[in-house]
Amino acid sequence: MNDMGEDRVIEIEGLYTRFGSHEIHQDISLSVYRGEVLTLVGGSGSGKTTLLRQMLGLETPVQGNIKIFGYSRYDCNLELLRSLRNRSGVLFQQGALFSALTVYDNIALPMRELHCLDDEMIRDLVMLKLDMVDVDPQHANKRPAELSGGMIKRVALARALALDPELLFLDEPTAGLDPGLSESFVELIQTLRQELTLTIVMVTHDLDTLAAISSRIAVLADQRLVGLGQLQEIIRIDHPFIKDFFLGERGRNALRHLVPPS
């Protein structure tokens, strides 16, 4: 099977996750379509990060299937898995840069792992990625400890985009940023998403970020998917988590254009 003409980038079917006797997901099914931003929300411990890690192939559910670009995560050969990995990029929480490596080497690492690019080509590509995320080349030789929180996120995004992925995973992309930095980081993601025609799966607790870039939202609660759709549809669902999350005071501020004041 290939992905020609297929507009589902990810297909999750009948997924169950358990850690010991702790049930995390029951019968989760959802698709992510090419070019959309699907945002996963849910209470603490509802299994958002676990689901993201399963899509990345870093964890395996006890039951169910996940297809990426039309290929099952669980019946492919090593070469195929590597190619699936190279077609996706990930921005982990807190950036997760290698602290011993410079900015340059952090971004160059995935390129070097391909073993087919020479040093000059890698240099040009690293500089191009830094430019894409608005980081001045003068910072290339710094280590992560010398960077501000906002800069770490940008460098981590440059690394996530190192291999020109079609699919980007963002785990709490604006966590730890103050509102101004958070807004400009979201604008950067939005611009790159359009320029690079990315498909994005994002986990966030931040309603401003969610409202700014989500095409659709998937809500995890009670081990299940209790909502899947556009924001306007989600906020009409009668579920305690949804009411609390979207229609509480913070929600009403972030979504004031959608939710009438009570």
Ligand X SMILES: Nc1ncnc2c1ncn2[C@@H]1O[C@H](COP(=O)(O)OP(=O)(O)OP(=O)(O)O)[C@@H](O)[C@H]1O
Return residues touching ligand X (CB under 6 A). 19, 24, 42, 44-50
* Closest to ligand X by CB, 45 or 240: 45
Minimum distance between the CB of residue 72 and ligand X, rounded to whole angstroms?
Answer: 22
**DSSP assignment of the chain, as one string?**
---TT--EEEEEEEEEEEETTEEEEEEEEEEEETT-EEEEEESTTSSHHHHHHHHTTSS--SEEEEEETTEETTS--HHHHHHHHHTEEEE-TT----TTS-HHHHHHHHHHTTS---HHHHHHHHHHHHHHTT--GGGTT--GGGS-HHHHHHHHHHHHTTT--SEEEEESTTTT--HHHHHHHHHHHHHHHHHHT-EEEEE---HHHHHHH-SEEEEEETTEEEEEE-HHHHTTS--HHHHHHHHSHHHHHHTTTTS---
Minimum distance between the CB of residue 225 and ligand X, rounded to whole angstroms?
Answer: 13
Minimum distance between the CB of residue 93 and ligand X, rounded to whole angstroms?
Answer: 8
Query: In angstroms, how far is CA 111 from the centroid of its own chain?
Result: 20
* Closest to ligand X by CB, 53 or 142: 53
Minimum distance between the CB of residue 203 and ligand X, rounded to whole angstroms?
Answer: 6
Q: In what order do the strands lie in the sheet with 167-171?
A: 88-91, 167-171, 199-203, 37-42, 216-221, 224-229
* Closest to ligand X by CB, 125 or 175: 175
* Closest to ligand X by CB, 140 or 210: 210
Minimum distance between the CB of residue 69 and ligand X, rounded to whole angstroms?
Answer: 24
* Closest to ligand X by CB, 49 or 190: 49
Minimum distance between the CB of residue 250 and ligand X, rounded to whole angstroms?
Answer: 15
* Closest to ligand X by CB, 17 or 102: 17
* Closest to ligand X by CB, 60 or 230: 60
Minimum distance between the CB of residue 248 and ligand X, rounded to whole angstroms?
Answer: 16
For residues 49 and 200, what is the distance between their CA atoms, to the nearest angstrom? 14
